[in-house]
Structure 1
């Protein structure tokens, strides 16, 4: 059934495909600029990675995952099937082309380029965040509790220093600490952690799912429409774009593809081949009283974080490059929880709920923010990896500017859909 068979349906100016935090943020900004916007999602708001992330606005994370440091750690990590980085054997062949591109992106020159691009997007996203939260009426959900990265011994701490120097060069504030200083900020750490670095400018949100659902509520309250449908294809037309779903077809002057880990499948229907892969993230959310957590703690050597949310204590992270179709392996979340108990001896591991979600990731750690090659009426906004929440407000600003043909706040060439 097409939209022409539905006289009750008002044809929107923009259709946003994806009701995660990036899609809904873009929808709200477009709506605030006077556009009639419809959001289409196969499951509804906050059903994917936006529900289960660590809740951080990680503006200091300017270093790409694709880096020489990861290459040095990867062989050891890959030998542990429950470690910080894993590839299920049944998926190894399928992901080989992506891994080759990832390896190429680890070259020092390309890392420098990716870091500069990531920094520009981070700066824009941080500048846009609080005005966006204010307009959306959710400023009370923002927290500024900082982040503590901890290290097991002098060698691990020393290995982290080049990354901190890169942050210092950009003006990011932090403070290195010994065990006694760390205990003043976060009591209860195991004595194996001898060094740490505290970043006071680290922001977070009270709960990422509650936040995303509130964005959806505000969007709908201001006249936005949210349709639940699975998108199968895009069809550019002379005056717009048709969005083809299983049971209906929508039409709009512009379409924004912000469907997370499924975005590349939609982009393929307009001739785009974008090497998007899926980092499957795992976590366990414990009851709020499980530990006296005062700041987010990053256990970088083990690839996970522990975060205090309004709804509980979340232990999660790691990277499983396993695609969209393999069943979850919750042994990974249980392995992280077991480590967290040994790292935080007072942590109560009882009563938790497990989760797995898909992080959409590109080989060079940068998202795609661009118009389609086939038509400028299709705008891409996906592939943010671990940084979808962090970069949502900045991406929303850029998407709205692309739709309206306004001058762009940053150079988008590093985020081109054609860069691969």
Structure 2
């Protein structure tokens, strides 16, 4: 392993947040090593929908969410579920989630999220230019679909917020208008909102691998080992791993859904939970998909990955240890087949990944309250890919002692 003098910054986590952060710190002249228990893009960064969802500023904990939650929670295959065996353990998190849905905190979360999204959108374009990544982008927009006039009207306040924030969109009020953008949808979808500036990557794993290859080519290192504990010292941090001890001047914890376990070693108790996301990826012949489709009322999306079709989403709050329930992926695929009558559902590959989620839908981007030489960058929920480049710049600002370009108080590790 590297000596202490060689380990300027150690980034724990080789997902999209960790790799992006390592690349940005390296760009600013730091000597960076990345450490991961499995390797690059081994977790949620390999199997997500591939969307840079900058228009998605509404937190999961929205006003009225708990009026819907009992119905959803009773449906093990619904858009939001908690396995009965996990219900008691997650109760304290659900209380914080309920509090985050109050209108005062909801409004504050939207404001913070929108500011972060503006920064992340610009940061992504800088990142794409820095790594010659444009060939890996798909700028095809997104359709948010609604099944009735009532559902559409209920969504209008969120579209009004997007308008105030300068997010371009077009509201569609007939199946024919929707068909002009995406043929083949069931006419039950009578209304939609089209966001033309929405973009996706051709494949989230390939994108993360591409960033990692750039990081390695510029002198970075990626090592595979599991982190057991963090011990602050006068010189920095000693990291106890399955490959021995590693010392570094600064450590960035970007280990996704496992991050809170490392924070606990330092005395920081951060209420991180796990959104277990499911999907099925179909071959390129499955459907002529022309834009990213969001079925918000059913909690899933359909996106184009490597020319094929990925059907996935929903929120299962089930922690890190329960076995996957692939009936959820089956249920999403069955719905997609009803909503896209020409969809060929054969030849699919299923996947489940862990998305790190905090009650207010905002990440932690901050120093540890117990050890300032340790920085946190986790808790992005289903927006990790979206906010990766912007998070990387903000973490680099903090690590370098530079003032971040946005107010960081909403993302403080002490806010809970």
Same fold (TM over 0.5): yes
Pair 1:267-2:263 in alignment: yes
Give matches, 1:264-413, under 5 Å. 264-310=260-306, 312-413=308-409
TM-score normalised by length of structure 2: 0.98
Q: CA deviation at 1:69?
A: 4.0
Q: Which moved more, 1:239-248 or 1:395-404?
A: 239-248
Q: Does 1:145 align with 2:162?
A: no
Q: How far is 1:72 from its partner?
A: 3.1
Q: After the TM superposition, which parts of structure 1 deviate over 4 Å for at least 4 consecutive aligned residues?
A: none
Q: 1:66 maps to which residue?
A: 61
SS in 2 for 1:54: coil
Q: Secondary structure at the match of 1:363?
A: coil
**1:185 lines up with 2:181 in the alignment:** yes
How much has 1:70 moved relative to structure 2? Answer: 2.4
For 1:190-269, list aligned pairs within 5 A.
Answer: 190-269=186-265
Structure 1 residue 77 corresponds to structure 2 residue 51: no
Equivalent residue of 2:325, what SS?
Answer: coil
Deviation by residue 1:93-113 (Cα, 9 ceiling, x = unmatched): 000000000000000000011
Instruction: Provide the secondary structure at the position in 1 that maps to 2:269.
Output: coil
2: CA distance between counterparts of 1:73 and 1:296? Answer: 26
Aligned-partner Cα distance in 2 for 1:75–1:167: 29
C-alpha separation in 2, matches of 1:149 and 1:37: 40
1:124 to 119, 122, 128: 119
* CA distance in structure 1 between the partners assigned to 2:407 and 2:71 by the alignment: 37
Q: Supply the distance in 2 between the matched residues of 1:137 and 1:152 (Cα, whole angstroms).
A: 40
**Mapped partners of 1:200, 1:73: distance in 2:** 30
- How many pairs does the alignment contain? 415
1:169 alignment counterpart: 164
Structure 2 unaligned segments of length 5 or more: list them: none
Shift of 1:299: 0.6
- The residue that corresponds to 2:37 in the other structure is 42
How does 1:81-120 map onto structure 2 within 5 Å? 81-120=76-115
Are positions 1:21 and 2:16 aligned together?
yes
Q: Which runs of 5+ in 1 are unaligned?
A: none
Please state how far the C-alpha of 1:91 moved relative to its aligned partner. 0.2
Rounded Cα–Cα distance in structure 2 between residues aligned with 1:10 and 1:206: 39
Task: Choose 305-314 or 323-332, whichever is displaced more.
Answer: 305-314
Q: 1:207 touches 1:311 (CA, 8 Å); kept in 2?
A: no
Measure, in 2, the Cα distance between the counterparts of 1:158 and 1:91: 35
SS in 2 for 1:332: helix
SS in structure 2 at match of 1:356: strand
1:345 is displaced (CA, Å) by: 0.2
Aligned-partner SS, 2:266: coil
In structure 1, distance between residues paired with 2:129 and 2:237: 32
Q: Find the residue that maps to 1:96 and give its secondary structure.
A: helix
Could you give the per-residue CA deviations for residues 270-318 of structure 1, whole angstroms, max 9, x where no partner exists?
1100000000000000001100000011011100000011252100000
| TM-score, L = length of structure 1 | 0.97
